[in-house]
Chain A
Amino acid sequence: MLSGCMAAVLAGVFGGLIWAQIQAGSGHLTLLVLAGLLVLLACLAVIASLVHLGLAKPVAALERELELQVHGQSDQPVKLPPSHALGGLPAAVARLASGSADARREFAHKTEQATASLAEEKARLAAILLDLSEGVIVCNLQHRVLLYNQAAFRLLGAPAALGLGRSLFAVFAQDAVRHCLECLRERDPGDDACRASGQTPDGVIEFLCGLVEGSELFKLRMAPVSIEGPDIIAYVLTFMDQGDRAEALAARDRLLTHVTSDWRRPLAGLRAVIETLRDHPELGATKRDALERVIAEETIFLCEGFESLAQGYERAPGRAWQLAEIHSSDLLNSLRRRLSCANGPEVTVIGLPLWFRGDSHSLLLALDRLLNRLREHTGASRFDVEPLLSDRQVYLEIVWSGSAIPGALLARWLGEPITGAAAGASLRRILDLHGSDVWSQEKRAGWAYLRLPFAVPSHLPVVRPGVVLPARPEFYDFDLFEDRQLTRAAADQPLRRLDYVVFDSETTGLRPSAGDQVIALAGVRVVNGRILTGETFNCLIDPGRPIPPASVRFHAITDEMVAGRPPFEVALPQFKEFVGDAILVAHNAAFDMTFIKRQEEASGLKFENPVLDTLLLSAVLHDHESEHGLDAVAARFGIEISGRHSALGDAMATAAVLVRMLDLLEARGIVTLAQAIEASSRMTGLRKMQARF
């Protein structure tokens, strides 16, 4: 518009100039030029106004409309200017604007719906939580409270410190909670320890925890929360009313009532009789006799009554906190890690893992303290810890090189309080809670032990009974003894002093040549006759083919479990690294070695370690027995193992068998590796022949 005006003004100016020239009568040329310029200017003016009307104005109008649309201030469709030269642009813009408006409306609608549904879910959850008599608190990984219910608030005594977004540790003592969360995060859902127990690997941990204020102990259960994938994003704590306290008091009440009602009579009788005897020395012999018999009878009655009272009291519910079942591997590995982080004594976990009843956190603290005191007192810095199974107990045995600890010193250690323990308990109190004690003796020349007894779980987790799986048929199509590097030095080593890796594999089937593949490989190290429970290799392997349903009942490994796991060509080199130079041992090793050999060829690896087979050794030792499957051999040696038919469980059982065999082999004159290999080699020949018949 402005340019149009300017053009018009300039035209006027030039018009004036031209007119002046005409008046002044100058030459025609100048006139023509000026006239031309005038025409040009006039044209420019016209074009300018056309542009203005056709483009600038509609564009401005469009811009305004768009602004309104974008800012959601107009629900009307875009108003197009009536005449314009923008071609299809306004229409396209209009479509865009209306599309955007639609999307916005849709979005608002969806949001509304989602919010409503979420609100409904939340209301439902709140209603459920309200109904629960259990206290529930949900926390994130920073231990801030995300959610809690009325029951939790009430059971904790209505603490002011409990609130959304606030730290859990304003209410509960932190050590035990942190420890449990760590345990949950350490646990691998494929963990054999979980599967072995027959429990679902849902990873719920029970533990005792004290409050920040007050000395009450609560029994809490912690469960992980993960939404997608295995990563834990939060945890749920649940706990009950200490109603078991009420039950315990009631039980004790009953015992007392029983005593007060039942014992009056015999006590009264005794008193009467004794007083009579004293006051009347003139009583005849028969009378005397009769009275003395009364004394004897009533005394026996009272003694028996006392025994049953004492037992009733021991067994009364809630007297000792009902302890959770813990797996010795979990506890001892935690201990090992904890000590090594704090530059504490070095702990080697040996022996077969066992289940027992206990509170993980307080035992961790107790053992930590004991080991530190042991190190201070004896100067030893390396300790073996082994769980031992006996008739009615599980013992944890700590062994070191040195002498036993005198009872008086132990008693002193037990009296010391432990920071971080529930309610500042002493070592003595923690052991009392477990119905346990500790004593020290010499183990063998130059070695001493500390032993702590613990209760076994009330029902030992067992592999589902009723289905006795047939033993895997013996496999001999593989020569264990050719091609193995056996240096003179290794050959003459006594078996006891050698390092072994005892391993087992699970496969899709029994025929390596027909395409069966390895789906699990596990091994455990045995050094100096000790099974190093803490040093294991355990790997699920993707076989790259479906697992036949028929084989699943043997190993309980499903396609889902192996999906995404490393293939054998990745796992085997890792296994090789774990093995190093140790002697390989397996039960019916020919079977496992065949699969390994096939992979060796594919990957260009080569295992040159000597191989021993516990099946062959069993045949050498007990050639009169017909059964040499792992189950039969383990039973013969009295080895009980949880987690059978998992690769790690079988490897452990085989390791235990190997360790037991060392003595027997020595008695048979098989002392060195070379001798063992020779005997096994001969036995292979024999068994191959037998198998043919």
Chain B
Amino acid sequence: MTRSVLVVDDEPNIVLSLEFLMRQSNFDVRVARDGEAALAEIERQRPDLVLLDVMMPTRDGFDVCEAIRANPALKDVRIIMLTAKGREIEREKGLALGADDYITKPFSTREVLERVKRYIGDEAGD
């Protein structure tokens, strides 16, 4: 079964790269540009993993993470937070709020891919 990934980031370059990357690895990719859109997408169709940026306008990544975790139906959705703020506190807070992992920008795309595969496997064919 093809695993699906939702990329949530307001930064177009990041979105471009990640979307391309995920597609290349045979994941089913969707994109959202802010927190509200992300939650709407998740509601429409449940992703297997969310790549979630923290710094976004209106609803930040922590908010979205909290909202996802507040919904028991979404408990199997994996969340990897992406953040431009490297502070320890951010990482702790994210993990405390229920994120599965945390990557600081600037990141290596190779690393992102590795982490994504770690959580939702490499089942999508090669």
Chain A contact residues, CB within 8 Å of chain B: 303, 306-307, 310-311, 314, 392-393, 406-408, 435-437, 439, 441, 451, 453
Contact = CB atoms under 8 A, between A and B. Distances in A.
A136 B60 CA distance: 47
Interface string B80-100: 000000111110110011000
A451 B96 contact: yes
A436 B86 contact: no
A406 B63 CA distance: 8
A234 B97 CA distance: 49
Nearest to A311: B86
Q: Which 7 A-B pairs have the closest CB atoms?
A: A303-B106, A437-B89, A407-B63, A439-B93, A407-B66, A407-B62, A439-B96
Interface in B53-112: 59-60, 62-63, 66, 86-90, 92-93, 96-97, 106
B52 to A, nearest CB: 13
Given A407-B62, A407-B66, A439-B97, A306 B106 contact: yes
Contacts of B97: 407, 439, 441
17 contacts: A307-B86, A392-B88, A393-B92, A406-B66, A407-B60, A407-B63, A408-B63, A435-B87, A435-B89, A437-B89, A437-B90, A437-B93, A439-B62, A439-B93, A439-B96, A441-B96, A453-B92
Contacts of A436: 89
Contacts, number: 31
Contacts of B59: 408
Contact of B86 (A310, A392, A437, A441): A310
- Tell me which of A311, A435, A439 has the highest count of chain B C-beta atoms within 10 A of its own C-beta: A439
Contacts of B62: 407, 439
A408 B88 CA distance: 21
A272 B82 CA distance: 30
A436 B90 CA distance: 9
Q: Max chain B CB contacts within 10 Å: which of A307, A407, A408?
A: A407
Main SS class of interface, A: mixed
A526 to B, nearest CB: 28
A310 B60 CA distance: 22
Nearest to A392: B88
A410 to B, nearest CB: 10
Contacts of A303: 106
B29 to A, nearest CB: 24
B62 to A, nearest CB: 5
Contacts of A310: 86
Contacts of A392: 88
Contacts of B96: 439, 441, 451
A314 B86 CA distance: 10
Contacts of B87: 314, 435
A466 to B, nearest CB: 33
Contacts of B89: 435-437, 453
Nearest to A390: B92
A63 B50 CA distance: 111
A310 B87 CA distance: 10
Contacts of A306: 106
B16 to A, nearest CB: 16
A186 B43 CA distance: 57
Contacts of A453: 89, 92
Contacts of B86: 307, 310-311
Nearest to A300: B108
A407 B86 CA distance: 20
Nearest to B98: A441
A456 B43 CA distance: 42
Contacts of A314: 87
Given A393-B92, A451-B96, 8 more contacts: A303-B106, A307-B86, A311-B86, A314-B87, A406-B66, A407-B97, A408-B63, A439-B93
Nearest to B89: A437
Nearest to B63: A407
A428 B22 CA distance: 37
A441 B69 CA distance: 11
A366 to B, nearest CB: 15
A408 B59 CA distance: 8
A439 B66 CA distance: 10
Nearest to B94: A439
Contacts of A441: 96-97
Nearest to B64: A407
A483 B78 CA distance: 61
A313 to B, nearest CB: 10
B82 to A, nearest CB: 15
A565 to B, nearest CB: 45
Contacts of A393: 92
Nearest to A304: B106
Nearest to B85: A310
Nearest to B104: A307
Contacts of B106: 303, 306
B60 to A, nearest CB: 8
Contacts of B90: 437
Contacts of B93: 437, 439
Contacts of A408: 59, 63
B64 to A, nearest CB: 9
Contacts of B60: 407
Nearest to B97: A439
A439 B62 CA distance: 10
A136 B89 CA distance: 37
A451 B96 CA distance: 10
A615 to B, nearest CB: 38
Contacts of A407: 60, 62-63, 66, 97
A314 B87 CA distance: 9
Contacts of B92: 393, 453
Nearest to B60: A407
B85 to A, nearest CB: 9
B114 to A, nearest CB: 16
A196 B49 CA distance: 49
A441 B70 CA distance: 10
A310 B62 CA distance: 22
A86 B107 CA distance: 116
B56 to A, nearest CB: 13
A592 to B, nearest CB: 42
A79 to B, nearest CB: 93
Nearest to B96: A439
Nearest to B69: A441
A407 B62 CA distance: 7
